[in-house]
Amino acid sequence: MGDFVCETLEVNPAGHLSVGGCDCLDLAREFGTPLYVMDEMAVRANCRAFRQAVETCYGAGGKVIYASKALCTKAILSIMHQEGIGVDVVSGGELATALAAGVPADTLMYHGNFKTLAEIRQGLAAGVGRFVVDNRLELDQLSGLCEETGRKADVLFRVKPGIDAHTHDYVLTGQIDSKFGVALENGEALDILRDAWDRPGIRVRGIHCHIGSQIFEVEPFVQTVRVMLGLMDEFRQATGKVLEELNLGGGFGIRYVDEHRPLPPARFMEACAAEIRRFCSERDFPMPFVAIEPGRAMVAAAGITLYTVGSVKTIPGIRTYVAVDGGMFENPRYALYGSPYDAVLAAAPLAERVRPVTIAGKCCESGDLIQEHLPMPGVRPGDIMAVMATGAYNYSMAGNYNRNPRPAMVLCREGRARVIVRRETYENLLERDEIPDDLAP
Ligand code: LLP
């Protein structure tokens, strides 16, 4: 193992960076750049770590669901299914991908704050395992469609537990101001549960929440458990009915840079499970079925992006810009969130980092940066650069700004690289454009 933020990366005997036994210089040569590279065994190891943690804590009373928004391709979803992981989808597109990957519909969770009527219909027709209903309009539409079609829907409700995992002391305020789900404070959550219970076609299974992303601490999850179980207990007291399922969402942090110290999944699970057991025995409440929904933690550190370096522009006294052949169109995370990333040169991944550089993309926009002030070895045009931990929310958030074709993705395992997403071509970019007759060239 090399000393990299992505722990499964290695330095091969040639001294080059290698992923799943594949030399990154060979990958760049064979498949071109920019190139998303996924390490299959690293994805599987993440699946197994989460599954094992959930099994240890809950036995058959728990499940891991992969949040496919992090990285949604047929091959990746098929791996998840092989590893015994369910899949969360939030759109007709993610649903179609999961079904095309052979993921059984009954292992799917259908999320989203706005499912169009067509999307609800598709989910119902496919027979998705759970609808996570966000609001009353959606409940009305879903129950209406159930009546119309004679189908039944198993439903969780998205609740805002009021935990802000990104403030220092995880205050229980502010989160009522969120577009997702129903609030606790004003009784909205309790109301929608009562309302849904007796509707024909709707089977109310439980409640769901998601408190944020890239979280390193256990405490906000434990507080969330308390709040969510509190609602389940309140509902039982008010109605005598029992909600059986608690879905705690995702949000488990990963290591993008050296300073990040993510906890192993087991630590989150153990702390939540202990709190759930304590609560249930104190209140004589039946143990709920518990689901979690990691996205980032399943795939981020299993991926890197390879780039070819173009110009290296040193502005004396200011900074050095290293241009790469990608940018915000295939990794918008620095432009959007200022997210930290580490990078190395594929030919000399352990070379001494001698000066800070700013890695810039090729889009026509000053903010099109991959990272700023990152210490790197001397970089020259033509070098292959690897940006680490790009497996989540890169390809899935990519676009075509400046008509840049999206990169290919390869899946590496035991020295074999297989294309799982083909590189977009100019034909792909042009194929949906139409020219009205009066504008034809
Ligand atoms: N479940 C629900 C309902 C979610 O909304 C999300 C993420 C997850 C699970 C998975 O969360 P994760 O384990 O990946 O943190 N684009 C942002 C991240 C947005 C996450 C949105 N929801 C980024 O690039 O950092």
Query: Has residue 5 been placed in a domain?
Result: no
Q: For residue 171, is pLDDT > 90?
A: no
Same domain, 328 and 287: no
* pLDDT value at residue 175: 73
Q: Do 281 and 275 form a contact (C-beta atoms < 8 A)?
A: no
Residue 426 neighbours by CB under 8 Å, 6+ apart: 405
**Ligand 1, atom nearest to 293 Cα:** 9
Domain boundary among 276, 294, 312: 294
CA nearest ligand 1 atom 20, residue: 213
Query: Cβ distance 3 to 255 under 8 Å?
Result: no
Residue 138: is its pLDDT beyond 80? Answer: yes
317 and 361 share one domain: yes
Same structural domain, 258 and 316: no
In this structure, the answer to whether residues 376 and 288 fall within a common structural domain is no
Residue at 120 is within a domain: yes
Question: Is residue 378 assigned to a domain?
Answer: yes
Q: Cα(131) to centroid of ligand 1, in Å? A: 17
pLDDT of residue 178: 86
Q: Tokens 């009915």 label which residue?
A: 241
- pLDDT tens profile 10-52: 999 999 999 999 999 999 999 999 999 999 999 999 999 999 9
Percent of the chain with pLDDT over 90: 95
101 assigned to some structural domain: no
Does the pLDDT at position 174 exceed 60? no
Full domain range(s) for residue 322: 10-39+300-430
One domain for residues 280 and 320: no
State which of 91, 252, 296 you would mutate to test the pocket of ligand 1, scoring each by most atoms of that ligand within 8 A of its C-beta. 296
Q: Are strands 408-413 and 416-421 parallel, antiparallel or unpaired?
A: antiparallel
- Atom 8 in ligand 1: residue holding the nearest Cα: 250
Residue 166 has pLDDT above 90, yes or no: no
The proportion of the chain whose per-residue pLDDT surpasses 70, expressed as a percent, equals 98
For residue 212, the CA-to-ligand 1 centroid distance in Å is 7
Q: Select from 248, 272, 294 the last residue of a domain.
A: 294
CATH of the domain at 405: 2.40.37.10
DSSP string, 38-92: EEHHHHHHHHHHHHHHHHHHHGGGEEEEEEGGGS--HHHHHHHHHTT-EEEE-SH
Q: Specify if 14 maps to a domain.
A: yes
The residues, any chain, with a CB within 8 Å of residue 422's CB and separated by 6 or more, are 408
Query: Which tens digit of pLDDT belongs to each residue from 256-281?
Result: 999 999 999 999 999 999 999 999 99
Last residue of a domain, which of 263, 294, 325? 294
**In this structure, is residue 77 part of a structural domain?**
no
State the total domains in the chain.
2
The span from the CA of 45 to the CA of 367, in Å, is 35
**pLDDT for 216-266, tens place per residue?**
999 999 999 999 999 999 999 999 999 999 999 999 999 999 999 999 999
- What residues are labeled active site? 364
The conformational region for residue 415 under phi > 0 = left, psi -120 to 50 = alpha, else beta, is left
**90 is a domain residue:** no
CB distance 306 to 37 below 8 Å = yes
Find the 310 Cα to ligand 1 centroid distance in Å. Answer: 33
- CATH number reported for the structural domain that contains residue 163 in this entry: 3.20.20.10
Mutation choice for ligand 1 from 130, 268, 293, 334, CB with most ligand atoms inside 8 A: 293
Give the distance (Å) from ligand 1 centre to CA of residue 234.
28
Report the mean per-residue pLDDT for the chain. Answer: 96
